[in-house]
Structure 1
Amino acid sequence: MPDLPASNRLRIGRYAEPNRIYLLTTNTLARKPVFKNFILGRLVVAQFRAAHDQGCVNSLAWVIMPDHFHWLVELQQGSLGDLMQKTKSLSTKAVNQFTGRKITLWQKGFHDRALRREEDLVKVARYVVANPLRAGLVEKLGDYSLWDAIWL
């Protein structure tokens, strides 16, 4: 296999299937902790909600970490690439508008993992929302405000 840049390697073999559940992850550019600022994190949450409200996904669980996010979704329509491109583009625009700056917010590409039907979705959702605990950002989940899950 040729040595391709990471963003190109991430696209090889990617297939999006409607009604399939995916765990999506992407990082901020250079892993800058942009979302230590709660308000900026809420701008990303607004894009998650918009994708859900527009029928692109059923949003099952998410967490916005200082330098990345995890988003557990059931894809309803479109492709994962389109979903992530739109989410990243619109959240960048919102952050730039709010801060009055013009920055590149996200690294290129994203990671996705299709979940098998037999996987325990609640267990995966707990893993997603427990990220702040594992990262040592808080001592209890209730102390971190940039997460949600339909089961919890």
Structure 2
Amino acid sequence: MKHWPHAPSHRTEHPGAYMVTGATYEKAHRLTTRARLDAFEQLLLEEIAAAGWSTQAWAVFSNHYHLILHSPDEGGELSLVLKKVHSISARTLNAEDGVVGRKVWYQHRDTQLTYSKSYLARLNYVIQNPVRHGLVEESYRYRWCLARWFEECGDAAWVQTVTSFPTDKVNVADEYDCQLVP
């Protein structure tokens, strides 16, 4: 894989866990309705699964998203999956808005999580992200993330373990002004 010095390198060919953050171009709010958030969340999760990746956590917002993923055993080109998701969703959003050729997505960043404490802290970070952005007081109340399922269906000991990990020292580029969808 060729490395370009002015863009984040996407090196997901090694098997393992990854944290991914994707953003809209200029942090513009494009997923501004329940229907748009629903459709993007479904497309994102379906395409990731179809490529053999396992989604461990997700949170989708009006202008960005976070994922914790496990690669297929042989690794995989996640960039191709996200490029497809971004392309399909951009065409859909542009058609809905009656515009042609508007740039919707900027890029994504991925980080391989190689330490269990780092993995657990970032897993909790993604689960708690709707609270961090001030959208809800309790993350399970935010519809477009793992939190509700995690709390209702997750093993109680595992939920307690994950949610006990502090997120204040997690270093993630996450400076987004989120909008609450009515």
TM class by shorter chain equals: 0.7 to 0.9
Q: TM-score, normalised by structure 2?
A: 0.67
Deviation at 1:63, TM superposition (A): 0.4
Q: Assess, with a 3 A threshold, how the Cα gap between structure 1 residues 143 and 151 changes in structure 2: closer, same or farther.
A: closer
Contact 1:23 1:114 in 2 (8 A): yes
Q: Which residue of 1 aligns with 2:64?
A: 68
Moved over 6 A (4+): none
Q: TM-score, normalised by structure 1?
A: 0.79
Segments of structure 2 that go 5 or more residues without pairing to the other structure are 152-182
Q: Assess, with a 3 A threshold, how the Cα gap between structure 1 residues 15 and 117 changes in structure 2: closer, same or farther.
A: same
Deviation at 1:128, TM superposition (A): 0.4
Q: Which residue of 1 aligns with 2:17?
A: 21
Segments of structure 1 that go 5 or more residues without pairing to the other structure are none
Deviation at 1:100, TM superposition (A): 4.3
Question: Identity of counterpart residues, as a percentage?
Answer: 21
Deviation at 1:36, TM superposition (A): 3.2
Corresponding letter in the other structure for 2:44: F
Deviation at 1:116, TM superposition (A): 0.9
Q: Which has the larger radius of gyration?
A: 2
Question: 2 CA distance for matches of 1:29 and 1:55?
Answer: 25
1:32-59 C-alpha deviation (Å, 9 max, x unpaired):
1222322111222122222244143111
Question: What number of residue pairs does the alignment pair up?
Answer: 144
Q: Which residue of 2 aligns with 1:124?
A: 122
Q: Which residue of 1 aligns with 2:28?
A: 32
Contact 1:43 1:95 in 2 (8 A): no
Partner SS for 1:72: strand
Deviation at 1:61, TM superposition (A): 0.8
